[in-house]
Every structure is written in structure tokens, then in C-alpha cells.
Chain A
Amino acid sequence: ETGVTQTPRHLVMGMTNKKSLKCEQHLGHNAMYWYKQSAKKPLELMFVYSLEERVENNSVPSRFSPECPNSSHLFLHLHTLQPEDSALYLCASSPKPGQSNTGELFFGEGSRLTVL
């Protein structure tokens, strides 16, 4: 248990569906991240939120829409996805600088998404 919980763990959706992935951390961290891991590819950073403000958006298509309502919750809203968007979506969080400057990221178990 890393303290970062992702739901659902598995999701199958059609290209016209709208769904959301949820991430929750109970570690008191102030930064949260979405990574995408496609089959046989390295992890790709998608979005970064620091203090609930988006600080990075790595040219992710607009069919992926993140939301960070508070420092403990992060969502990834999905709509009109393509089959090539099928992947493992990983959420991570990191501590406040005063708590730790080691650069550790704490990852959730991931949400396995299949787009039909």
C-alpha cells in the first residue's frame, strides 16, 4: 500500500463513452501526476498538478481532461477516446518540499483502460 488509491482498476469503454478515472492520496502531499503507460513503452508524463494548479501538460490530446479539486484528489476525464488510448494510467503524488526533498514519487496501482 503506497497511500495512493486509483479507481477503477479496470475500465472498458467504447469510443463514444464518457468516463472518469479517480485518484486519491492520504499522504498529505501537495503535487499529483498522471502518467500513461502503453504496452512495451516507457511511462509518459501527461499532467502535473502542484498545489492544485496545473503546472505541466505534455501535449496531451483534449479528449483527456484532468481535474484537481483539492490536494488529495485527482481525476482524469475521458471522452471520445481512440483504441490507441488503451493503456495503464498511473497516478502519483509527491511530498511538500518541507517534508521531503528526496524526489520520491508515490504511485498508485494504476487503472487499466481498454477502448473498444
Chain B
Amino acid sequence: DAKTTQPTSMDCAEGRAANLPCNHSTISGNEYVYWYRQIHSQGPQYIIHGLKNNETNEMASLIITEDRKSSTLILPHATLRDTAVYYCIVRGGFSSGSARQLTFGSGTQLTVLP
């Protein structure tokens, strides 16, 4: 699986958009970009994933560059409860019957400030 690079930490003002970057320059054509987050001392939570196109759901938006070598997770209106470690993970597609191991890196500690 391709390696990802994320900033160690970021701050964001409450109510503003939080933009979390991720570099994955060695990503291959069949690998997806996943984002999870982990609030302190809880289990990680799935946020969003994408392959080529930009994606949006009720939690966030994912912008993937045209060359797919980087992506940005956008939390449109950050709240204090969004303070967490955000993980960007690149993983190949899942064939029928396979388990879905994901390898977590160190992630970005996002702190939303009041």
C-alpha cells in the first residue's frame, strides 16, 4: 500500500473550514484514499473515501488532485467536537472475500480553537 504524509498538527478556529492535506505521491491506479479520525481515547471513526472524483458526505468533503498524488479533507464548519487525530490512508480495492486491513500512520492532530 502507498505511503502517506500528513502534517503532525494543525489548528482551526471554530466555525471555520478545516482543510487537512495528505500527500500520497506513490499511489497506484487502483488504490483508494480513506480518511478516519480518532477522538482522544476512542476508537477510530470512518469519515470518507474516494478514488478519483471529489466526494462529499454529511461529515466532510474529499478533494483529490487530478494526478491523485495528494488530497485534502475539508470539514466545512469545524466545531470543538472535531478536535481529533485525522488519518489519511491509501489502500487497494477489496476483492471478494478479503478482509479489509488498513495501515494507520501518525495522522494529523487537529485542534479546533474556540
Where the two chains meet, the residues of A that have a C-beta atom closer than 8 Å to any C-beta of B are: 2, 4, 31, 33, 35, 42-43, 45, 48-51, 55-56, 88, 90, 92, 94, 97-98, 101-110, 112
Contact = CB atoms under 8 A, between A and B. Distances in A.
Given A48-B101, A55-B99, A104-B49, 13 more contacts: A2-B43, A42-B106, A43-B104, A50-B99, A90-B43, A94-B100, A97-B94, A103-B93, A104-B46, A105-B36, A105-B44, A105-B100, A107-B43
Given A42-B104, A42-B105, A103-B91, A110 B99 contact: no
Contacts of B32: 103
Contacts of A55: 99
A107 B101 contact: no
B102 A109 contact: no
Nearest to A94: B100
Q: Which of A4, A103, A106, A108 has the most CB of B within 10 A?
A: A103
Interface residues of B, number: 26
B44 A43 contact: yes
A43 B45 CA distance: 13
Interface of B: 32, 34, 36, 41-46, 49, 91, 93-107
A88 B46 contact: no
Interface secondary structure of A, over-half rule: strand
A56 B101 CA distance: 9
A31 B32 CA distance: 20
B101 A33 contact: yes
A6 B42 CA distance: 11
Contacts of B46: 104-106
A108 B43 contact: yes
